[in-house]
Amino acid sequence: MLAGSIGMLPSASLDAKQKGLYEPIHGSAPDIAGKDRANPLATILSLAMMFRHTFAKAEVAARIERAVQRVLQQGHRTADIALSGETVIGTRAMGDAVVAALRAA
């Protein structure tokens, strides 16, 4: 898969009973900590994975995934996924946009 950025990659380590550790694949990015520059989408999508696999709430997971997709379709981009000339928003603004998309659904 070509994801475009490690900021877009959720992950899960599951046991045989579907309990797991959910986190973005990219780690903590200490070089940009506190600078409002990280892409929060992998963390948000990891939460969707948790709802789907551990809590067996596929409908909640799908709502989260659709909200992320809607935000991206609206053109919201963090620096790691922005093309030249696109407007870049920060971590907080991206998270807020996903929350707004969830509320609108």
pLDDT at 40 over 70: yes
Q: What are the residue ranges of helices labelled H in the chain?
A: 41-53, 58-73, 91-104
Other CB atoms within a 10 A radius of the CB of residue 66 amount to 14
Where residue 75 falls among pLDDT bands split at 50, 70, 90?
very high
Ordered by start, the domain boundaries in the chain are 38-105
Mean pLDDT of the region 56-62: 98
pLDDT at 4 over 70: no
Other CB atoms within a 10 A radius of the CB of residue 50 amount to 21
Q: 36 phi and psi, to 5 degrees?
A: 60, 40
Output the pTM of the full model: 0.88
d(CA 69, CA 22): 20
Please name the helix (run of DSSP H) or strand (run of DSSP E) that holds residue 51, with its range, or none: helix 41-53
